[in-house]
Structure 1
Amino acid sequence: MTLRLYDTRAQALRDFVPIDERNVTMYVCGPTVQSGPHIGHLQSALAFDLLRRWLEHRFGRVTFVRNVTDIDDKVLANATPDEPWWALAYRMEREFTSAYEAIGILAPSYEPRATASIAQMQEHIQRLIDAGHAYESGGDVYFDVRSWPGYGELTRQSLDAMEPAGDADPRGKRDPHDFALWKAHKDGEPDSATWASPWGTGRPGWHIECSAMSRRYLGAEFDIHGGGRDLRFPHHENELAQSTAAGDGYARYWVHNGLVTVDGQKMAKSLGNFTLAHDLLAERPARVVRYALAAAHYRSNLDVSERGFDEAAAALDRIDGFLERAERVAGDAPSEIPEAFATAMDDDLGVPQALAVVHETVRAGNTALGSGDEEGARAAFSAVSGMMDLLGFAREGDGSRGAAEERALDTLVRSLIAQRADARAEKDWATADRIRDLFADAGVALEDTPDGTVWSIDG
């Protein structure tokens, strides 16, 4: 089956055909690092991590770029005399990296900071001025939206129905919808946040950053541009206009993830209804967080709840329990990817349907173990291992037990199982019951099979 992705620009599912099948290229808008990451940031990063992993499985190589916006109005606003903007940005960037790594987000191929591509931004702005699509006014430079007939095509909006751009002083604009490409230095802003330019000292606007950085690292045309649904307008609309107006092909597919909501309302720092990633990861194992955020389709809104995290923990316990039991008979069986799983992932990254295949295979594997069907158990183990590895759910690390702890626990449990068997053989029912109750209190489930008693964590 051909991989299909929902393209926001086309507003339809499209067969994915990369420019170069040997190297898929993808750019994802990264964080503006004015403060620490919340659950919504994790969910968005995870959506594109899952897409990247599947693209690597299908095509082999993916050049994945995710930027860091380290110069912005919000970064400057949150700086203090004791922590200048560049120090705040770096500290917050490290918090994002730590949270991403905790839930198993693969590191990008490149992760450029905006401040490292100022020259490329200025070059892009000059190309727009030369082409008649941008103009300078009092040290600011604006994109002339009425000069570009395609403006509005990403979000299917007419220009006159749009809200005016609120990213710069409107007095220097020819049209209220024109947006800033370069912002002149203002009184009260630190000198360290300004760069020399042909239009005077200043700093870049937000939108130009991604156009310049994607071109620098992926070329004038690349396969996929990703980001949250809330970035479609004005950010991505402006990116598309300023890149195509400069003569670049830009992104062939636009992929947007849904939002995290709380009681049906978008989670956002500006609304004050967010949960910081640090606090969530202090309360829940990282693998549980990853599973809970992956369980909804990437284009759907995810309403977070304690119940959702509890269900994720129980689901992982069931999967891990099977893998631990089946590993005893599977040995070094190679990983495999079932056709039903691949079909789900090829259908616009259907992770919820793919997880359903995981659980169906776990149930079949448990049945095989219970009936002594070692071949069936081995096949299920290979499939579940392959699917979980591909989805980024390693059993070691990221909050799960390490190999040494696993071996130690297995030794202790097996010792108690042997003591229980001896007690039952000697009709010492009090001792047998005491050991049974100890297992129950610890959440350990026992199953007597023709080959002996096996144990698992009771999910």
Structure 2
Amino acid sequence: MTVRLYDTATRQVADLVPKTPGQVGIYLCGLTVQSAPHIGHLRSGVTYDVLRRWLQHREFGVTFVRNITDIDDKVLINAAAAGVPFWSLAYANEQVLAAAYRSLNVLPPTYEPRATGHIPEIHQLIEELLAAGHAYQAADGSGDVYFDVATYPEYGQLSGQRPADMQPAADGDPRGKRDPRDFALWKGGKPDEPVEACWASPWGLGRPGWHIECSAMARRYLGAEFDIHGGGIDLIFPHHENEIAQSRAAGLPFARNWVHHGLLNLGEAKMSKSEGNVLDLAAVAALGVRPVELRYYLASPHYRSRMDYSDEALTEAAVAYRRLEGFVQRATERVGQVAPGPVGAEFAAAMDEDLNTPQALASVHELLKEGNTAYADGDDDRLRAALAGIRAMLAVLGVDPHDPAWRAAGRDDQLRGVVDELVALALQQREAARGRKDYAAADAVRDQLKQAGVVVEDTPHGPRWTINGQ
């Protein structure tokens, strides 16, 4: 079997051919931690986590690198506004991001480097570009070092733009640039910036530009050439265009494939802190949506599609997941624990063809119908097969209800534990009433639970309950 992905560079779906057979190296541009993450950011984490899980299911070894940009203009501005050191703000937001990823069952990366931890590698790459004639130090005494776009004829190919049509790079004083499109590799320290945000360099005190850090860290952890570079479509230009230019100008083959995911929009604009139109995990929880249901929602559309957020769409996804979860629970109660089995052929074909999760999920829900029929017919063999298949496919998507990650202690789980105990107490009272043949009292307990949204179903193994029948 061959996994096929859409390559932004060639603009076509093609076979993934790893540099090293059986091994895939992935570099995902992580967040700039100037603020806490919102669910638009988390779509990226879920998307590439699903890709990673599918490649591992296809028995590829995966080295997954996701960086943290912890020094940047926005970090410095927000830290100054908050009256805290830049590193304090960055670290606090990084911890919030890590907790958000954990809550959505995003596997930890193989490596998660920070930009500030790789200053020597960044210096080395800049020195190589200077030696090759692709970079220059500004003549204005600022200490800035710029990439010379005119020396790289292929500039603009990834984004499909002509350099003549590009806007100036707004990352340095244009008076120090040979060409307005030249972008900063190193930024000289400014008098109004904190001294702790500067590092010694051959060009004076300063800090790295945004783009150079990713090229340096990708080489450090994946080598001169690796298989997949990922990120949102908003990073194609200028970030990824600049990464290609500086890396290949330095003689690095760099990424063999470029994979970009669509954005999550709120209204007509992408979800963005600067636009003030964001939703975080707390806002989603306030809607009564659990992290596993949010993950299901984020993984359901094709990764390259634009997502237009609405409360209704999120709720519909949560209900769809609860149907699957309810089946897994009912089937397990009937036949006992069943390990995930092989995924369905249609599911595999969909995932192999550019990670087509909508088509893959359609096959999951078809198997759900078969499983429900087997449950109703009392056919335990068919029920076990359906349960094993559904669990396997949901595991690839990171939403298997039996995954221990979803049982990790958290506020929602603690609340569910309290609910469990209260419902169990009510059911004990119901059973006691039935034991003394006070059926009116037993029915009254069941009706009171139903009014509270708890539906009780009597089974051969005893009563089971669900919230709103899900």
TM score, norm. by length of structure 1 = 0.92
Identity across aligned pairs (percent)? 52
| Deviates most, 76-85 or 2-11 | 76-85
- 2:48 aligned residue: 48
Equivalent residue letter for 2:444: R
- 1:146 aligned residue: 150
Q: What is the deviation of 1:280?
A: 3.0
- 1:30 aligned residue: 30
Equivalent residue letter for 1:27: Y
Equivalent residue letter for 1:381: L
Contact 1:370 1:449 in 2 (8 A): no
- 2:298 aligned residue: 293
Contact 1:24 1:59 in 2 (8 A): no
- 1:58 aligned residue: 58
Counterpart CA distance in 2 for 1:69 and 1:18 is 27
252, 256, 259: which is aligned to 1:252? 256
Counterpart CA distance in 1 for 2:213 and 2:27 is 12
Equivalent residue letter for 2:325: D
- 2:375 aligned residue: 369
Q: What is the deviation of 1:448?
A: 6.5
Distance 1:401 1:188, change over 3 A: closer
Counterpart CA distance in 2 for 1:297 and 1:310 is 18
Q: Which secondary structure state, in structure 2, belongs to the residue aligned with residue 253 of structure 1?
A: strand
Equivalent residue letter for 2:199: W
156, 160, 174: which is aligned to 1:156? 160
Q: What is the deviation of 1:455?
A: 5.0
- 2:240 aligned residue: 236
- 1:319 aligned residue: 324
Distance 1:419 1:295, change over 3 A: farther
Counterpart CA distance in 2 for 1:196 and 1:345 is 48
- 1:98 aligned residue: 99
- 1:306 aligned residue: 311
Equivalent residue letter for 2:154: G
Contact 1:27 1:214 in 2 (8 A): yes
Q: Which secondary structure state, in structure 1, belongs to the residue aligned with residue 157 of structure 2?
A: coil
Count of aligned pairs between the two proteins: 456
Q: What is the deviation of 1:361?
A: 1.5
- 1:2 aligned residue: 2
Equivalent residue letter for 2:323: R
Q: What is the deviation of 1:452?
A: 7.9
Distance 1:78 1:360, change over 3 A: same
Q: What is the deviation of 1:228?
A: 0.7
Pairwise CA RMSD: 2.5
- 2:76 aligned residue: 76
- 1:391 aligned residue: 397
Distance 1:111 1:453, change over 3 A: closer
Counterpart CA distance in 2 for 1:322 and 1:438 is 25
Q: Which secondary structure state, in structure 2, belongs to the residue aligned with residue 293 of structure 1?
A: helix
Q: What is the deviation of 1:386?
A: 1.4
Contact 1:420 1:435 in 2 (8 A): no
Distance 1:276 1:433, change over 3 A: closer
Is residue 2:450 matched to residue 1:440?
Answer: yes
Counterpart CA distance in 2 for 1:451 and 1:279 is 38
| Deviates most, 400-409 or 85-94 | 400-409
Equivalent residue letter for 1:136: Q
Q: Which secondary structure state, in structure 2, belongs to the residue aligned with residue 79 of structure 1?
A: helix
- 1:111 aligned residue: 112
Counterpart CA distance in 2 for 1:409 and 1:389 is 31
Is residue 2:122 matched to residue 1:121?
Answer: yes
Q: Which secondary structure state, in structure 1, belongs to the residue aligned with residue 338 of structure 2?
A: coil
**Correspondence list, 1:181-196, <5 A:** 181-196=185-200
Contact 1:163 1:177 in 2 (8 A): yes
Equivalent residue letter for 1:387: M
- 2:265 aligned residue: 261
* Structure 1 runs not aligned, ≥5 long: none
Q: What is the deviation of 1:379?
A: 0.7
| Deviates most, 442-451 or 308-317 | 442-451
* Structure 2 runs not aligned, ≥5 long: none
Distance 1:401 1:317, change over 3 A: farther
- 1:329 aligned residue: 334
Equivalent residue letter for 2:386: A
Q: Deviations over 1:38-95 (max 9, x none)?
A: 1111111111111111111113421110111111111111113741111111111111
- 1:132 aligned residue: 133
Q: Which secondary structure state, in structure 2, belongs to the residue aligned with residue 183 of structure 1?
A: strand
Equivalent residue letter for 1:265: A
TM score, norm. by length of structure 2 = 0.90
Q: Which secondary structure state, in structure 1, belongs to the residue aligned with residue 70 of structure 2?
A: coil
Contact 2:430 2:442 in 1 (8 A): no
Contact 1:325 1:455 in 2 (8 A): no
Distance 1:416 1:299, change over 3 A: farther
Distance 1:274 1:449, change over 3 A: closer
Q: Deviations over 1:232-274 (max 9, x none)?
A: 0000000011001111010111011100111122111111111
Q: What is the deviation of 1:421?
A: 6.9
Equivalent residue letter for 1:148: Y
Distance 1:405 1:380, change over 3 A: farther
| Deviates most, 207-216 or 341-350 | 341-350
Distance 1:417 1:375, change over 3 A: farther
Q: Deviations over 1:374-395 (max 9, x none)?
A: 1111111111111222211143
